[in-house]
Structure 1
Amino acid sequence: MTTSQAGHRRRAKGAPVWEEPPSLPGQVGKSTVLTAVVLAVLVPLWTVVVTSLSSREAINDAGGLVFIPRDIDMSAYQVLFAGGQVARALWTSTLVTVIGTAFSLVVTVLAAYALSRPGTVAHRGMLFYFLLTFLIYPGLVPSYLVVSGLGLKNSIWALIAPSAVSVFNLVVVRAFFQGIPQELTDSARLDGAGDFRILTRIMLPLSKAVIAVVGLFYAVGYWNIWFAAVLFIDDNNKFPIQRVLQSYILAGQTPQFSGTQTTLPPTLSIKMAIVVVTITPIVLVYPFIQRHFIKGVITGAVKG
């Protein structure tokens, strides 16, 4: 046994269990569990993608979902993007996600900055008011009456306004703002900067990580919005993509397709194509936000 190995064992002897070097069975067990989790995610996703690209013959031969690709048939995607309800739903979801994320970020950042300043009027009362929503939810009937009373029913603002501010995101951004040294803002005030200039020139450039993470949270929430569409949207032409997905796959309804196709692709391939189209935007955006994800969440949640 070498001197370094003996020293390592002496150090590990009195250490807690979680700080001890992993044993071989432990490493094998962790690798097995992680591999099983990855396969549990990738295998269904692979099956959905392959089925959406399969022909009628391949689906019939497989008796349903196709795991091993045999040929590539893009007819399901051609039907979806040729127009009709699915294409309109994609446009609606994109519009709701872009406008809703921008609106929510602006409101959240402004509210978080105000609540992070100790001298703000009614600072503690407003913070308590926001935190109270963690415990008390008004319910569906009051929410429906408010949205209907404001004339937002059957508009994209019915999908944006009720969920414009997430208190969790607000608390995270506020904690991050509080972690920025007070000396920076004090020196800016000595130079004559106001609150808006301090926010835009100091706070936001230092908060790119947490803003990116909160923006991702909002974007995913708006893209996956479904229940609000069930409550507030009655016009089929204004359904978001998740509402169409639910009505087509779970409720068994058939979306309206435009075009001159006399023979539609298999129903199963169209369903899987809708699923692929629904999850693709988030899958494409996430890698660009991933490097900010852990830093933004941990740093923003350290100080409350």
Structure 2
Amino acid sequence: MTETMTPPDVSTNPAGELSTLRALEAEAIEIIREVVAEFERPALLFSGGKDSAVLLHVALKALAPAPLPLTLLHVDTGHNLPEVIAFRDEVVERHGLRLHVAAVEDWIADGRLVERPDGTRNPLQTVPLVDTIETERFDALLGGARRDEDRARAKERIFSVRSAMGGWDPRGQRPELWNLYNGRHAPGENTRVFPLSNWTELDVWRYIEAEDVALPPIYYAHERDVFLRDGMWLTPGPWFGPRDDEPLVTRTVRYRTVGDGSCTGAVASEARTTSDIIAEVAASHLSERGATRADDRLSEAAMEDRKREGYF
């Protein structure tokens, strides 16, 4: 009698996990090489967060031993945690990379933007991004967005053509059959490219462990003074917090994602190593944005509304 063979469970089989990671890495490498070959002035969005750190790591592997032919672009709200900015600058110096910083503060100072009453600057990133794409003549921007983060990002193609104003039309996207990508665009248009589209948060952390990718220390559990607002632990800073009714407490926390300090919360966690985080993420029922990003809670379609205006 023939014995029925059960296929290996990739979720628990280390060899299967590694095979899956290598397939995802190979796909991302192919996409990055396609962008470098097809576009004249591509850039890579780099905030110092885990997804952009993984994207940069893959890009360096994809194009080695040549110097990275990509400018790094960071739209800096001015409200980023200092550990993240220090990590960003250290990475740029270590690899001898070009970094262009579009500071939201500059747009506020000269009147092109107005500070929001709630103090958050995440929604203010769109105008500096679109302006910088125009002035620097970037025709493609590589970003670390993933489809599992948000419903709007789940609609996104890997090659996403944007209008001259940076706008995204989810109904006007091009088909992507197999691994064929269409980067053609009219003058003034640009293409956002997402090589990590098919990765999950768990894939990202398993890749970080497998490749020993460096990250800002705030991704790992540490003691921090925080205050509670709208169900999230926020760090004190120049973003109108804490208020009188928001007492500071010391908690052991970590960040699942990084961004504007006014709307990016920490989570209670004892995960001090990458393997600890992998176990924690595997057990979580919330995406990192759903758990820690207040700007995504503004409406049912908050992310999609921002993307239509030119957001990442």
TM-score, normalised with respect to structure 2: 0.19
Higher strand share: 2
Larger radius of gyration: 1
Higher helix share: 1
Work out which structure has the larger RCO, using CA pairs closer than 8 Å and 6 or more positions apart in sequence. Answer: 1
